[in-house]
Amino acid sequence: MSSEVLYRYQAVLPVRGSVRGVGMPKFSKLIESFSYKPGYEFTLIHPEKAKIDGMTLNFDIPMSVLYLKAYAPDSTKPPHELILLQFQAAIPHYIEDLNRGGQLQYLRQIIEIFEKHETDEWLRVDGELVKNPHAAQE
């Protein structure tokens, strides 16, 4: 499927969040109920158990993760074919203690961090990046 067809196809799909694992019932419900740009998928992942060599290990991992996946044009290579973008954000356990407004604010901050990176990928003056988000931090 060409990137143009893929982009048009994804643009009409309703995109919602999903949850893997158990835990954080209030925040999980928020993730399952919200939507964002077409083609963006959010999955809340709660690490619980790991299997290694047939043995099940139980251990606490300090935070769950919100995983964002999207297909967007590649800013570095015209004709800007669609590429897979992935972003992960740690979700602290205290998110459950926040009211819905606090949880939404946290979710917005995660999206704003992602979008700021994308802005830095695309913003150019005279063809040169204003800020390269992949450059080493000074």
Residues 6+ apart with CB under 8 A from 28: 19, 44
**Does the pLDDT of residue 101 top 60, yes or no?**
yes
User: Peptide bond preceding 79: is omega within 30 degrees of 0, i.e. cis?
Assistant: yes
Strands 17-20 and 40-45: parallel
Q: How many Å apart are CA 65 and CA 96, to the nearest integer?
A: 14
Mean pLDDT within 91-109: 93
Does a structural domain hold residue 74? yes
Its pTM surpasses 0.85 = no
pLDDT, position 60: 52
* Residue 20 resides in a domain: yes
Q: The domain containing residue 81 runs over which residues? A: 3-50+57-129
Which is higher by pLDDT, 3 or 100? 100
For residue 133, give both structure tokens. 């988000």
Q: What is the mean pLDDT of the chain?
A: 79
How many domains does the chain fold into? 1
The residue-averaged pLDDT of 10-26 equals: 56
39 lies in a domain?
yes
Do the domain assignments include residue 134? Answer: no
- Among 15-29, 84-98, 106-120, where is mean pLDDT lowest? 15-29
Are 52 and 26 in contact by the 8 Å Cβ rule? The answer is no
* Gap between the Cα atoms of 13 and 103, Å rounded: 25
* pLDDT grade for 58, boundaries at 50, 70 and 90: low
pLDDT value of residue 62: 56
